[in-house]
Chain A
């Protein structure tokens, strides 16, 4: 039985209960999603043993035979990502306990629905179901991005909405074409039937699905909406979006490319090219930003470039490195956005210079941002280093030029990280209101810092995790489990 899958139900229930409870009093509203995410973490931990033992576990909705109903599949990749997602979800919900004080019922409902959407994508084995949960994820994040309703977030919201729904429509068109040609929507069934289908249709369907997913993951040609969306959204939402929302897109891409289409080489080379492009462009754009949130947004684009490049290498080591970097980046980016959130909590604007003289930061905020920046740049002793080192080694085997580019981008990452760190944290001995961080904001930062250092100091965990995850990317194991 896949207990982790019930976490989707738990988040759905928490979203609805917050609405009900909000009728009586707004005081108890935040407690429900926080409790729900704790339960979700527990459920995911319960699924770990048998997934890591069997490699992949299948559960069928109401026991129809495999291709008829919707099959729920949990393999090592999806369970690890689900575990990291639920832990970060808990931390983000805890962080926003004091951060959002108005209209909190709607905020918590939408946020827990967003997490339900992500978990739904991670566990589903059916491509149309993945489309539906993509929609759940995006519609709830449209509302969240425009939550503050001022000029910036509204413009960001409408732009994100239009781009997002074009992307999901392309995804649906791709699925429709696949159905037309093979007659099934179950991913394992598709993987079996696609090789027998000749002609252009699978290629075009894959192209459509890839554009849809690449747009959701904010890769180079479609990264326009990311900076505005993260700037407009409240900081915990940007942390959730960049930490978890984008990763669902990457997971879906991995699932489609590796399992359904069995990783054709053209696609991998394209991933490589787009990865390198977004790596460089993201880093350069981030360098030129003076707005804290936009800088973090562009750094997300560049880190996604790393992931795409690593996977695009095609070698086993490359995929393992890319998967590990997904996990590491989730943790680092959430830490960075949350620590930026603590700074922005009292600051009136997001411009780095103005923040400096309005907020006197506490040591915890300073160190959390510093550790985040160092981990992002892949400095040893931090978890970023482990995955970046694997990426350097993997890219060196394939094409030394790539390693040079990767190293240069890491240097640029370090540069803009420290620039922001200096501007916001170091240069404000002057006045500025003393920020007293409530406990609910301190715990997430401390926990995330602990995880980063733990994974950094003991790299074996990361490497073992990477091997286990990349083990689940071979189609034969997946189709064997699903179709029996």
Chain B
């Protein structure tokens, strides 16, 4: 990939990230939420992975052989958050703490966890496919 694509993707990446984070955090007020935010940020990463040969992207991820185990475990942490939420809520601790600032009870927390989950999954899949 020649220089133009590399530089533009490098410049563009932070804005995509910002957009994704905004959508994730405001899931309970504005449209979008966990999944769309995850998709947005994942496309940001995909942009980088495709623009750069994996050589340069390598420094974004840890060492080569750790990548696939790390990716798997990365997913796990996030699923644990979600299943914790699910299990915790199963005990019907319905303490509806009306966080004034967030005006959301429990959903924003799960939105962010879901978004992280989707990002890790898609990024690992893209990375595996590109590296192949």
Do A and B contact each other directly (Cβ–Cβ < 8 Å)? yes
Please choose the segment from B46-54, B66-74, B97-105 that sits at the chain A interface, where 4 or more of its residues have CB less than 8 A away.
B66-74
Chain A residue nearest to B79 in the complex (CB)? A16
Given contacts A9-B87, A12-B83, A23-B69, contact A62 B76 (CB under 8 A): no
Chain A residue nearest to B66 in the complex (CB)? A23
Chain A residue nearest to B76 in the complex (CB)? A16
* Inter-chain contact A62/B72, CB cutoff 8 Å: no
Given contacts A19-B73, A23-B73, contact A62 B79 (CB under 8 A): no
- A182 within 8 A of partner (CB): no
**For residue B69, which residues in chain A have a CB less than 8 angstroms away from its CB?**
19, 22-23, 105
Residues B69-91 near A (CB distance < 8 A): 69-70, 72-73, 75-76, 79-80, 83, 87, 89-90
- B1 within 8 A of partner (CB): no
Question: B-facing mask of A98-111, CB < 8 A → 1, else 0?
Answer: 00000001100100
Question: B-facing mask of A105-147, CB < 8 A → 1, else 0?
Answer: 1100100000000000000000000000000000000000000
Could you tell me the dominant secondary structure of chain B's interface residues?
helix
- B60 within 8 A of partner (CB): no
Given contacts A9-B83, A9-B87, A13-B83, contact A19 B75 (CB under 8 A): yes
* Inter-chain contact B83/A19, CB cutoff 8 Å: no
* Inter-chain contact A19/B87, CB cutoff 8 Å: no
B8 to chain A, nearest CB (A): 35
* Inter-chain contact B90/A19, CB cutoff 8 Å: no
- B92 within 8 A of partner (CB): yes
Question: B-facing mask of A9-39, CB < 8 A → 1, else 0?
Answer: 1001100110110110000000000000000
- B94 within 8 A of partner (CB): yes
Distance A63 CA – B92 CA, assembled complex (angstroms):
8
Chain A residue nearest to B71 in the complex (CB)? A19
**For residue A12, which residues in chain B have a CB less than 8 angstroms away from its CB?**
79, 83
Given contacts A9-B83, A16-B79, A62-B94, contact A23 B89 (CB under 8 A): no
Tier of interface size on chain A: 10 to 19
* Inter-chain contact B94/A16, CB cutoff 8 Å: no
Could you tell me the dominant secondary structure of chain A's interface residues?
helix
A36 to chain B, nearest CB (A): 14
Residues A39-56 near B (CB distance < 8 A): none
Distance A63 CA – B94 CA, assembled complex (angstroms):
10
**For residue A105, which residues in chain B have a CB less than 8 angstroms away from its CB?**
69, 72
B95 to chain A, nearest CB (A): 13
**For residue B80, which residues in chain A have a CB less than 8 angstroms away from its CB?**
13, 16
Given contacts A9-B87, A12-B83, A62-B89, contact A19 B94 (CB under 8 A): no
Distance A105 CA – B73 CA, assembled complex (angstroms):
11
- A426 within 8 A of partner (CB): no
* Inter-chain contact B92/A19, CB cutoff 8 Å: no
* Inter-chain contact A20/B73, CB cutoff 8 Å: yes
Chain B residue nearest to A109 in the complex (CB)? B72
A123 to chain B, nearest CB (A): 13
**For residue A22, which residues in chain B have a CB less than 8 angstroms away from its CB?**
69, 72-73
Distance A446 CA – B60 CA, assembled complex (angstroms):
51
Distance A19 CA – B80 CA, assembled complex (angstroms):
12
Chain B residue nearest to A63 in the complex (CB)? B92
B126 to chain A, nearest CB (A): 17
- A61 within 8 A of partner (CB): yes
* Inter-chain contact A23/B75, CB cutoff 8 Å: no
Distance A298 CA – B86 CA, assembled complex (angstroms):
41
Distance A20 CA – B69 CA, assembled complex (angstroms):
8
A267 to chain B, nearest CB (A): 35
Distance A105 CA – B87 CA, assembled complex (angstroms):
25
Given contacts A16-B76, A62-B92, A63-B92, contact A23 B70 (CB under 8 A): yes
* Inter-chain contact A62/B90, CB cutoff 8 Å: yes
Distance A62 CA – B95 CA, assembled complex (angstroms):
12
* Inter-chain contact B76/A20, CB cutoff 8 Å: yes
B107 to chain A, nearest CB (A): 13
Chain A residue nearest to B80 in the complex (CB)? A16
**For residue B75, which residues in chain A have a CB less than 8 angstroms away from its CB?**
16, 19
B82 to chain A, nearest CB (A): 10
B66 to chain A, nearest CB (A): 8
B116 to chain A, nearest CB (A): 15
* Inter-chain contact A61/B76, CB cutoff 8 Å: no
Extra contacts, 19 of them, besides A22-B69, A63-B92 (Cβ < 8 A), are A9-B83, A9-B87, A13-B80, A13-B83, A16-B80, A16-B83, A19-B69, A19-B72, A19-B75, A20-B73, A22-B72, A23-B70, A61-B90, A62-B89, A62-B90, A62-B94, A105-B69, A106-B72, A109-B72
A-B pairs with lowest CB-CB distance, top 8:
A16-B76, A19-B72, A19-B76, A23-B69, A20-B73, A19-B73, A20-B76, A16-B79
Q: List 22 A-B contacts (CB under 8 A).
A: A9-B87, A12-B79, A12-B83, A13-B80, A13-B83, A16-B79, A16-B80, A16-B83, A17-B76, A19-B69, A19-B72, A19-B73, A19-B76, A20-B76, A22-B73, A23-B69, A23-B70, A23-B73, A62-B90, A105-B69, A105-B72, A106-B72
